[in-house]
């Protein structure tokens, strides 16, 4: 199965190498991973900022506020906010492990 996956990945890169956009599988996949990571980081950062603006406070402060009671919308936003924070952290860890640049705006 591992060999089949490697072959599939090589086939994915081949058209881009053939037309000269990349000189190797490694450069193609490095670029693809970097683009994916940047997209994900930006997406989660935007979600966090949107919710900070909406509620005028940090996630920690919002969490404390919800302990006193919350609407369904606030609970939904809390779950979205928490997921964005967790995913942002996971993608930052991944980009660090891969030595990719990490945006630091959040």
pLDDT tens digits, 32-70: 888 999 999 999 999 999 999 999 999 999 999 999 999
Q: What is the mean pLDDT of the chain?
A: 90
Q: Residue 74 and residue 64: Cα distance in Å, rounded?
A: 12
- CA-CA-CA-CA torsion sign (34, 36, 38, 40): negative
Residue 92 has pLDDT above 80, yes or no: yes
Q: Residue 93 and residue 16: Cα distance in Å, rounded?
A: 28
Lowest mean pLDDT among 19-33, 66-80, 87-101: 87-101
Q: In which domain, by residue range, is 36 found?
A: 2-97
Cβ contact 81:48 at 8 Å = yes
Q: Is 102 among the domain residues?
A: no
106 pLDDT band (50/70/90 cuts)?
Answer: very low
Q: Residue 58 and residue 56: Cα distance in Å, rounded?
A: 7
Q: Is 104 among the domain residues?
A: no
Domains held by the chain: number: 1
Q: Residue 89 and residue 45: Cα distance in Å, rounded?
A: 10
Using only the alpha carbons of the chain, give its radius of gyration: 19
Q: Is 46 among the domain residues?
A: yes
| pTM, entire model | 0.78
Average pLDDT over residues 69-87: 98
Q: Is 57 among the domain residues?
A: yes
Q: Is 88 among the domain residues?
A: yes
Q: Is 24 among the domain residues?
A: yes
Average pLDDT over residues 20-43: 91
Q: Is 105 among the domain residues?
A: no
Q: Is 69 among the domain residues?
A: yes
């Amino acid at each position: 199965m591992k060999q089949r996956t490697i072959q599939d990945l090589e086939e994915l890169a081949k058209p881009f190498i053939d037309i000269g956009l990349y000189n190797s599988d490694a450069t193609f996949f490095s670029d693809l991973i970097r683009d994916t990571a940047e997209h994900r980081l930006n997406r989660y950062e935007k979600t966090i900022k949107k919710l900070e603006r909406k509620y005028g406070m940090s996630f920690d402060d919002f969490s404390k506020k919800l302990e006193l009671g919350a609407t369904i919308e606030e609970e939904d936003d809390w779950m979205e906010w928490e997921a964005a924070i967790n995913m942002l952290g996971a993608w930052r860890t991944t980009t660090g492990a891969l030595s990719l640049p990490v945006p630091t705006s959040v």
